[in-house]
Structure 1
C-alpha cells in the first residue's frame, strides 16, 4: 500500500522541476506577459526614461533685468568740520571775563586775556638794546673807512719807497718800514671790519630779543583760530593758566561732515565728488552733499575705507555725532529684483542663485548684492532674462532635471 506516497513524491518532484527549471515554458503555457517572461528567464528589462512624477518640483519666476541707479549704502555718523582745544602758550593769570559754552565766536575773537606782568617792560628793554646796537654801527663803519684810508696811504708810501729803492735814492730800511706800515694798516682794516660785523650781530641779537619779548606779549591774548561754537566755558577770571592749559574748545558745524566706512568689495564704486545723501536718526531729516575724501588705506581690523561727505549746515541743526544712514551714488547697472529667500550657496560657499534653462536643467550663477529693499534685493550677475528658482532651490543641484512651475512675478 506504499504506492500512493511514491506517486505523491513523483508528482511533487515534477511540479518543482516545472516551477524552477521550466518556468518560462510554464508561464508561456499559462499566457504570462513579456515582462514576466523576461523576469522568469533572469533577463534585465531595458530602463525606461525617468517619469515626470520622479523629478523634483520647483517654483520658478521669470525675471527681466532692469537698469537702476546704483548706490552704496553705509552706516555712519556726523562729525564736525573742525574741532580744536585752544590752549595757553605761556603762564599767567586770566584777566578777562569767561565766555560761556554754546556762545558763537568769530575768527580772531579774544577768548582769554592774560596778565602782562613784567613782559611789557621786557619788551621795552629789548627795544632799547636794539637801538643801542644800531647806534654802534655808524661808529664801526667810520672805523672801517678810516682803516681803509690808512691802508691806501701805506700802500702809496710803499710804492714810492720801492721805486726810490730801485733807483738807489732810498734805503732798504725805509722800504721795510713802508712794508710794515702796509701790514699794520691791513690789520687795522680787518679789525675794523670785525667790529662792524660785531655791531651788526648785536643788532640781530637785539632784534631777536625784541621779537621774543613781543611774541611773549602776544601770547597773553588767546584768540579764536576760526569761527564756530564754544563747547566749553573759557578759563575763569583769576585762574592761573600754565603753558598747555585749556582756554576753551571750539567746534565748527558749518559745513558738517558725514563719516562712514566703505567695504573693500564696494570701494571701487565710489568716487570723490559723487553725490550722496543721508537720513539722520531720531527724526533728524535728510541731507545731501558730495564725497570729499576716500581713504587710500584700509582699517586693519575691519578692512573698510574711511569716506567723508561734506554737507551744508547753515542753521546748525545737525549736531556732531548723530547716527546717519548714508547712500552714495554710483554708476547705474542692469540688475534683477529677486526675493532674498531665493539666494543660496553652492558647494564652494559662493553666494548665488539657481536657474532653470529651456531644457529644465538646473544652473548656478554667482551674484552680487547691490541694494537691499523691502521688496527684495537687487543683484547683478544673472542673464538679462533669467528663470530663477524661488522655491525648492535647496533641494536640487546644478545639472539635474526638474519639474518647474512658473509663477507670475508680482510687482
Structure 2
C-alpha cells in the first residue's frame, strides 16, 4: 500500500525507515502544522463559551420587561405613554429576540468551525492503516509534497494474498469462502514446506484465460510469524464446501499435485 498526504505541505517529521515494522495507527509522516494548530486554538477559544448568547438573552429579557411595563401602565391609565414610545419598545423587544437567535447561530458556527479545524489538522499526518513492514520511503524530512504524492510504501505481513490459477473444469466446484491450505515448495525451504498454512479463498475470476483454459483465483492466509514472503512459489489446495466429504480437492489437476501459485503480501 502506498501512503500519501491529503494536502500539500513540507514534511516536518518522518520517523520511519525502510525495513521498519510499524503498528496500526503508528505515525508514518507529518507535515509542518504550526499554522493549523494556531487556527485550531483560536477556533477552540471562540467555541468555548456561549457568553454572547447569554448576554443577548438578558438584553431580550430587559427589553421585553420594559415593553410589558409600558403596556401595563397604559392599561391602567390610558395615554400614560404615547403610541410612538410603545411602538419603539415593541420593536426593541422583537429586535433583541432576533439577536438571541443570531448569537445562537454564531455560537453553533463557532463549534462547527472548531470541528472543521480539528478535522483539517488530521490531514497533516499520515498513519499506518494496519500493522505492516515499511518497504520503501519515497520522501525525506524537509521535502515539499503535493496532495496525493506518495510518501512511503507498506506491506502487511500478518495476512498474505496467494494468487494462482485453476483449470476451467474445476471452476464450478470452488466458491469464495472455501477453506484453503498453502504449502511452500520444498526446494524453497523444507521447514516451511512441512506445515500447511490455512486460509480462505477470497476471489474466483469470472473471466477465462482462453489460451490456457484457466481461471485466476486468490486466497488470504494467516502469516503471523512472517514466514511467507513475496515471490515464494507454493501449492494451494482448495476444499470446496460442495464436496460431500471433507477430502481435499487439489485445484488445477484431479488427481495430481496442486496448482503452483505465488505468495504476495497483502
TM-score w.r.t. length of structure 2: 0.72
| Structure 1 position 92, deviation (Å) | 2.8
Q: 1:298 to 1:150 in 2, by over 3 A?
A: farther
What is residue 108 of structure 2 aligned with on the other side? Answer: 204
Does the 8 Å contact 2:22/2:134 carry over to 1?
yes
C-alpha distance in 2 between matches for 1:202 and 1:188: 21
| Higher normalized contact order (CA 8 Å, seq sep 6+, divided by chain length) | 1
What is residue 150 of structure 1 aligned with on the other side? Answer: 66
- Bigger radius of gyration, 1 or 2? 1
Residue by residue over 1:158-194, the C-alpha shift from the partner in whole angstroms, topping out at 9 and shown as x without a partner, is 6557xxxxxxxx6xxx49956983x655533332122
Query: What number of residue pairs does the alignment pair up?
Result: 242
Alignment partner of 1:287 out of 177, 196, 216: 196
SS in 1 for 2:182: strand
Does the 8 Å contact 1:96/1:237 carry over to 2?
yes
| Structure 1 position 252, deviation (Å) | 0.6
Does the 8 Å contact 1:280/1:322 carry over to 2?
yes
SS in 1 for 2:136: coil
C-alpha distance in 2 between matches for 1:304 and 1:155: 92
C-alpha distance in 1 between matches for 2:202 and 2:74: 78
What is residue 26 of structure 2 aligned with on the other side? Answer: 109
SS in 1 for 2:220: strand
Q: Over the residues paired in the alignment, what is the CA RMSD in angstroms?
A: 3.7
What is residue 206 of structure 2 aligned with on the other side? Answer: 298
C-alpha distance in 1 between matches for 2:136 and 2:94: 63
What is residue 373 of structure 1 aligned with on the other side? Answer: 256
SS in 2 for 1:213: helix
| Structure 1 position 99, deviation (Å) | 2.2
Q: What is the 5 A alignment of 1:232-251?
A: 232-233=136-137, 235-251=139-155
Does the 8 Å contact 1:232/1:249 carry over to 2?
yes
| Structure 1 position 155, deviation (Å) | 4.7
What is residue 248 of structure 2 aligned with on the other side? Answer: none
Quick check: 1:190 aligned with 2:107? no
Does the 8 Å contact 2:43/2:117 carry over to 1?
yes
C-alpha distance in 2 between matches for 1:122 and 1:252: 36
C-alpha distance in 1 between matches for 2:209 and 2:66: 80
C-alpha distance in 2 between matches for 1:186 and 1:306: 79
| Structure 1 position 98, deviation (Å) | 4.9
Quick check: 1:92 aligned with 2:9? yes
Does the 8 Å contact 1:93/1:114 carry over to 2?
yes
C-alpha distance in 2 between matches for 1:287 and 1:231: 27
Q: 1:179 to 1:262 in 2, by over 3 A?
A: farther
C-alpha distance in 1 between matches for 2:133 and 2:160: 13
Does the 8 Å contact 1:114/1:221 carry over to 2?
yes
C-alpha distance in 2 between matches for 1:155 and 1:321: 90
Q: 1:186 to 1:249 in 2, by over 3 A?
A: farther
TM-score w.r.t. length of structure 1: 0.49
Alignment partner of 2:237 out of 327, 349, 355: 327
What is residue 258 of structure 1 aligned with on the other side? Answer: 162
Unaligned runs of 5+ in 1: 1-83, 162-169, 334-368, 375-411
The worse-fitting range, judged by mean Cα deviation, of 315-324 and 256-265 is 256-265
